[in-house]
Structure 1
Amino acid sequence: MTEDYLPLAYLNAWEYCPRRFYLEYVLGEMEDNEHIILGRHLHRNVNEEGTFQEGETLIHQQQWVWSDRLKVAGIIDAVEECEGQLIPVEYKKGKMAQHLNDHFQLCAAGLCLEERTGKSITHGDIFYHGNRRRQTVVFTPQLRQATEHAIALAQIAAQSSMPAPIEHIKKCQSCSLQRICLPFEVKQLKHQN
């Protein structure tokens, strides 16, 4: 049913770097580095499916959601239910900042949750392990529109040729696919021609 739907995690990869998205999603390239391994280690407690109560909040971990309208699907790390309101929650390795890739992934999860439940999802939260802080992301009309636009672009990119490396040295240096992507080498070869 959802095999041709874009996975939510790859929407995050698309916004981070279209070339990384293409390498991972289209070509199936994966490579571990310290960031990937640490992220996997930090996720070990939230990667178990289940429901439990914390005070007044019911927490559903590892919730599968999808949107037939947007053709996206994936697993939300957690959905908190409190006083009838549902809040999607993602856990990230890094430090809290304005990471648009994380916001798109979370908003897309919220859109899926809305479609599945019929309830209005106004916001979601991202817990950043790097500084142990939780950021609330309001699903504004602008974020919803930008998220839907990013989904459409990623779906088109999946049918296109591989994008050129991005012009963001810090992202490239931290990327687990650097040895496969060869961004610096590709850029140097382009400058020589």
Structure 2
Amino acid sequence: MRDEDEFLALSGIQHFAFCRRQWALIHIERAWADNVLTAEGELVHKRAHDEDLRERRGDTLVVRGLAVHSRALGLAGKCDVVEFYKDSNGHPLAGEDGLWRAVPVEYKHGRSKTSDADRLQLCAQALCLEEMLGADVPVGYLYYEETRSREKVEMGDCLRKTAASMAKEMHALYYRRHTPRVRPFSACRACSLNDLCLPRAINRTTVGEYVAERLSEEAL
């Protein structure tokens, strides 16, 4: 179990699953750069995170921008949307009558991917909700803006174990302040950190070292 001051960003698990170096550049070295994909993704999340939009549709309650955390994982963040459904086998919900079942919904720009990066982020949200609510969260959904469709995600043992393992590895790297070296792959071209990571900073341990060297060259 971890204290609150040790929590890492829950959203980082998606970066970590996509590329460990990208995660370290963003979450350890605080490096960031926008491109068209990140800008469009940010607009999608702003709409989903409108905390003033709390909807009730019959026996369904829709909550946006819900803050969640897990001491077991050492992660904290916000769910884009959590849909609560009245369910006789569910759990109590503060301020509401009856029993409810929580279903997290993560909004993403683009379309469904073969990689589990998005699914692992959603799974981490489900694990946070389970710890906070004391109830099972066996399923969630990924909503993709490009296709305007939902993908159902079952929170199976394999996905859960991978999410927990990645959270542990993230903490180990963060504690050491270690940025993994470059491991180029096809998706590097679309990464907003390409100019910081590849090709000019290839095989360098940290962005800080690269920037320091560039400043030294310019001073000559």
The one of 24, 27, 46 equivalent to 1:25 is: 27
User: Which secondary structure state, in structure 2, belongs to the residue aligned with residue 45 of structure 1?
Assistant: helix
Displacement of 1:4 in angstroms is 1.9
Displacement of 1:166 in angstroms is 2.2
User: Which secondary structure state, in structure 1, belongs to the residue aligned with residue 46 of structure 2?
Assistant: coil
Question: What are the within-5 Å matches in structure 2 for residues 32-51 of structure 1?
Answer: 32-50=34-52, 51=54
User: Which fold has the larger relative contact order, with Cα–Cα distance below 8 Å and residues 6 or more apart in sequence?
Assistant: 1
Correspondence 1:166 to 2:183: yes
> Which ranges of 4 or more aligned residues in structure 1 deviate by more than 6 Å?
none
Percent identity of the aligned residues?
28
- Partner residue of 2:125? 109
Correspondence 1:63 to 2:61: no
The one of 32, 35, 52 equivalent to 2:55 is: 52
Report the residue type matching 1:46 in the other structure.
A
The one of 59, 80, 85 equivalent to 1:82 is: 85
**Cα separation, 1, equivalents of 2:55 and 2:44:** 19
Unaligned runs of 5+ in 1: 188-193
Displacement of 1:99 in angstroms is 3.1
**Cα separation, 2, equivalents of 1:146 and 1:106:** 12
RMSD across aligned positions (CA): 1.6
- Partner residue of 1:149? 165
Displacement of 1:153 in angstroms is 1.2
Q: Is the Cα–Cα contact under 8 Å of residues 19 and 164 in structure 1 kept in the other structure?
A: yes
Deviation digits for residues 10-68 of structure 1 (CA, Å, limit 9, x no counterpart): 11111110110110000000111000111112223212114212343210000001011
- Partner residue of 2:110? 94
Displacement of 1:160 in angstroms is 4.7
- Rate the CA distance shift 1:135–1:68 in 2: closer, same or farther, 3 A: same
**Cα separation, 2, equivalents of 1:141 and 1:43:** 28
User: Which secondary structure state, in structure 1, belongs to the residue aligned with residue 179 of structure 2?
Assistant: coil
- Partner residue of 2:93? none
Displacement of 1:70 in angstroms is 1.4
Q: Is the Cα–Cα contact under 8 Å of residues 109 and 144 in structure 2 kept in the other structure?
A: yes
Deviation digits for residues 120-172 of structure 1 (CA, Å, limit 9, x no counterpart): 10011110112111001100111111110111111112225321212312x11
**Cα separation, 1, equivalents of 2:199 and 2:77:** 29
Report the residue type matching 2:190 in the other structure.
S
TM-score norm. by structure 2 comes to 0.80
